[in-house]
Amino acid sequence: MFELAIKKLKEAQKIVFVTGAGISQESGIPTFRGKDGLWRNYDAMKLATIDAFYENPKLVWEWYNERRKNIFSAKPNLGHKAIAELENFVKVVILTQNIDGLHQRAGSTKVLELHGSIIEIKCTVCKFKNKILTEFTNIPPLCKCGNILRPNVVWFGEPLPQDTWQEAMIHSSNCDIMIIVGTSLVVSPANTLPLYAKQNNAFLIELNPEETMMSSDMDLSVRSTSVIALPQLLSIFK
């Protein structure tokens, strides 16, 4: 299977990566699940909802401010850099569930942020949207229209941005290889992307230290971390 994977990689015209929290965890960014998924005795998965935001917007904003500081202090790891360097050899598209921007900081040029970006804000009522340029003195911050601003991220129970999702489905449906990195594939609808690729006879590769609920659907599952496996994958093209 490794020999077949190498052959497929060398022949590929387009590789799509689906990345999750695991690749960023290796840069020191905590994941939602497990022991790192707690913050000040709150369940992060419960904080990341629109109901939690309206119930206590100050708390949610404080949580995101802390997350943003952690993200800004993190640096792209060897996994991020390997994916970026791969663009020198083949067309690469990244469909990421991460909101940290580390793929872009590593040099990747085609990144679709399925769950939004932590460095952006939007109004809860009007269409205002912008990058966060400075820290806000008043929490929660208000829009010029007088309503509360929120992080421009997709919370649990919210739909993905439809234009981004439509583009992600198209890329998944016309790639030669899809490489799934650092995601447990339990969050919908992002976990359906490998199915679109499979329907187009794409070769599916999973890079994850642990087995996932879709491991049996993969053509190749590699039990390794991204900082180890992705530079090795890149070496195939050199």
Q: Which residue has the tokens 């679709």?
A: 112
Q: What is the dihedral of CA 193, 195, 199, 202, to 10 degrees?
A: 70
Q: Do domains 1-27+76-115+160-238 and 30-73+116-153 have the same CATH topology?
A: no
Residues 143-173 have pLDDT tens digits of: 999 999 999 999 988 999 999 999 999 999 9
Residues 193-220 have pLDDT tens digits of: 999 999 999 999 999 999 998 999 999 9
User: Is 219 annotated for ligand binding?
Assistant: no
For β-strands 91-96 and 42-43, DSSP reports them as unpaired
Q: Are 152 and 120 in contact (CB under 8 A)?
A: yes
Q: Where are the alpha helices (DSSP H) in the chain?
A: 2-11, 21-25, 44-47, 50-55, 57-73, 78-85, 102-106, 162-173, 193-199, 226-235
CATH of domain 1-27+76-115+160-238: 3.40.50.1220
- Could you say which of 80, 103, 115, 171 is catalytic? 115
| Chain-centre distance for alpha carbon 204 | 18
CATH of domain 30-73+116-153: 3.30.1600.10
User: Is 145 annotated for ligand binding?
Assistant: yes
pLDDT score recorded for residue 93: 98
**What is the SS3 assignment for 134?**
coil
CB atoms inside a 10 Å sphere around CB 179: 29
Residues 77-113 have pLDDT tens digits of: 999 999 999 999 999 999 999 999 999 999 999 999 9
pLDDT score recorded for residue 154: 95
Catalytic residue flag (residue 115) = yes
Q: Taking residues 22-48, what's their average pLDDT?
A: 73
Q: Are 83 and 226 in contact (CB under 8 A)?
A: no
pLDDT score recorded for residue 47: 82
Residue 122, pLDDT above cutoff 70:
yes
Residue 51, pLDDT above cutoff 70:
yes
User: Is 56 annotated for ligand binding?
Assistant: no
Q: CA angle, 78 as apex, 77 and 84 as ends, to 5°?
A: 95
